[in-house]
Amino acid sequence: MGLFTPNTPKPVPRPAFWRLSLIQCVAWAFALVVTYALWPDVIYSVFWAGLITIAGQSFWVWRSLRGFGDPHSKSYLAGTIAGLIGKWVIIGTGLILLWRSEHQISVAATVFTFFGLNTLAALAAPLSISRPR
């Protein structure tokens, strides 16, 4: 009897991408406290760079998850690519506008904040997204 019963696929649980944004927010808050204590003159730069970076990352997470679970991987792939492109457009445009409009911004601090938060997300992704087995 088990030979002819169809196997119904179980739905794949959605990965918890939101954890990446949460980890970035916690790291950003810590960086703001440390920056305020040690280098208060660049706190404004760290604040705006973190806000722009997390906004871009959150857009990528939202866009990637829209097509998750679709029986055809095409929509998931398209959503992920669109989210990734949108992420870099948000970050690039945001940082360029910030650097051009605000003269007290430290470019070094914004770039360091941006790379730090993105590197943290890349390192934390395998640990925060994967389900415990």
Per-residue pLDDT tens over the stretch 43-69: 999 999 999 999 998 888 888 777 666
* More confident call, 80 vs 88: 88
What whole-number distance in Å separates Cα of residue 92 and Cα of residue 56? Answer: 9
Q: Where are the domains of the chain?
A: 18-129
* More confident call, 123 vs 98: 98
Let me know: does 41 contact 72? Beta carbons within 8 Å.
no
What's residue 90's pLDDT?
94
**CB half-sphere exposure, 23, CA atoms < 13 A:** 20
Work out the average pLDDT over 61-89.
78
* More confident call, 8 vs 88: 88
What whole-number distance in Å separates Cα of residue 97 and Cα of residue 100? Answer: 5
Eight-state DSSP code of residue 5: S
Distances (CA, A) of 46 to 30, 77, 97, 101, 120: 11, 32, 15, 16, 15
What's residue 132's pLDDT?
57
Prediction pTM value: 0.77
Let me know: does 2 contact 106? Beta carbons within 8 Å.
no
pLDDT exceeds 80 at position 3: no
